[in-house]
Structure 1
């Protein structure tokens, strides 16, 4: 069977609004809880727990439309997978760190835990939307339901959770799903798992069904590459050239990865993900 015989495309972005950032329902947690260092991604240093100087009283970013121009490229590629609004509205019941300063430290500690959990929910939701992964759907549903319950727990239970163990268990399941989905592509697939491909020249490369899990692809040239059914979980796509590349049905691709890359209007994207505004025409 060739890729053209494949079943209809499925969304790489699960149809889960709760796993997409809703900054209007968040207390600006990514702008307060997380630290960043002055670099090409951030114009200034900021310590954890210290509000960014650009955070307004309404928890919105004062330079949101100019982040890249102002030297805050790192902010444009961060994705909390909806953890911000969950912590703000569920864990802390809509009471902000400004209203209740004594809760601030705990809120900041819970946020990255919730972010890890929501990322796992994102990947598990994609597994459940992949017909080819049906043999692991029951296992994926069980894992998803367990993590869903945990995300609704109190702050103490969230902070006590063994996130590393959870990630390990889910990763085993995601590997099974990846193998099932990539089997859509006949023949031997390329294995670049964890490879250092920074700056690599991969223009027009046939990477259908390849595994690029955790691969370092910083500034790599993937112009015109065929990445259909390629596993891209954890791949570092900062400044990766994706002009004209075909990412249709790529596996476990996130919006944050696309935001970090450099594509154009000819780049073919999976359903559910959007073309970043900064991509060239």
Structure 2
């Protein structure tokens, strides 16, 4: 394994993970996967060195779900920190616990990721303090012994953090949205190319197969927005908030798509 940055990033680092998502998670044959796999069963494409045999051709082979999955750094944290580099192949005792912990730690890391994002844009000291306290609690909890961590209930933290995210979003967008839409809308398949949606709250919206080519999506809130196969070619998403690498990976874009700093242009984009 490569050197692991324990202070590091809340994003996937497959080079420091024992391919936990390729084994622990189940998936069904669909437009996202060409075949079904049960949880705990290694994917057919997983090599013995924990690498993927088709890593550079995932979309071409029908594994859209793999290109969009984001563990927020849970995989490498479990592999390196919690289990000190003991992998599930050579240490069967660790196998069940590692797989159980993947969704638990992922949920913790996802909240921390968004709390840190909130602190980067908020100008409210009370909000900053609330974020810091939650992060401190979650950072401590995730280092509990695996047997204890496996039973952790994330819901109270989701409720508290959700309120913080709503307050941060409202203050950041400052009622500058041109339109007022009902929350959690389903816009799947709709054509809104070249529209100006700046400062809009799209939290929890469904953008599946939506046409957003050349749209202005600056300063929007994308927390939980489903962007699978949404066409954002030429769209401007700069300064948008709560947007993750997973959402960017799920969308279709091109060289003219502008995304927030800190996110990477997917290799499969045109």
TM-score if structure 2 supplies the norm length? 0.93
Supply the distance in 2 between the matched residues of 1:190 and 1:210 (Cα, whole angstroms).
8
Count of equivalent residues: 264
**Displacement, 1:156?**
2.0
Supply the distance in 1 between the matched residues of 2:179 and 2:108 (Cα, whole angstroms).
30
Supply the distance in 1 between the matched residues of 2:167 and 2:259 (Cα, whole angstroms).
24
Q: Does 1:214 align with 2:210?
A: no
Q: Is the 8 A contact 2:186 2:206 kept in 1?
A: yes
Q: Does 1:68 align with 2:59?
A: yes
Q: Is the 8 A contact 2:177 2:197 kept in 1?
A: no
1:190 maps to 180
Tell me: CA distance 1:187–1:87, structure 2 relative to 1, closer, same or farther (3 Å): closer
**Displacement, 1:20?**
1.6
1:224 maps to 214
**Displacement, 1:244?**
1.4
Q: Among residues 201, 225, 237, which one is paired with 1:235 in the alignment? A: 225
Q: Does 1:123 align with 2:114?
A: yes
2:4 maps to none
Supply the distance in 2 between the matched residues of 1:186 and 1:24 (Cα, whole angstroms).
42
1:166 maps to 157
Q: Among residues 1, 7, 15, which one is paired with 1:24 in the alignment? A: 15
Deviation above 3 Å: which 4+ runs of structure 1? 131-135, 185-189
Q: Does 1:140 align with 2:131?
A: yes
Give 3-state SS (helix, strand or coil) of 1:257's partner: helix
Q: Which runs of 5+ in 2 are unaligned?
A: 1-6
Q: Is the 8 A contact 2:9 2:73 kept in 1?
A: yes
Relative contact order higher in (CA < 8 Å, ≥ 6 apart): 1
Give 3-state SS (helix, strand or coil) of 1:19's partner: coil
Aligned Cα root-mean-square deviation (Å)? 1.5
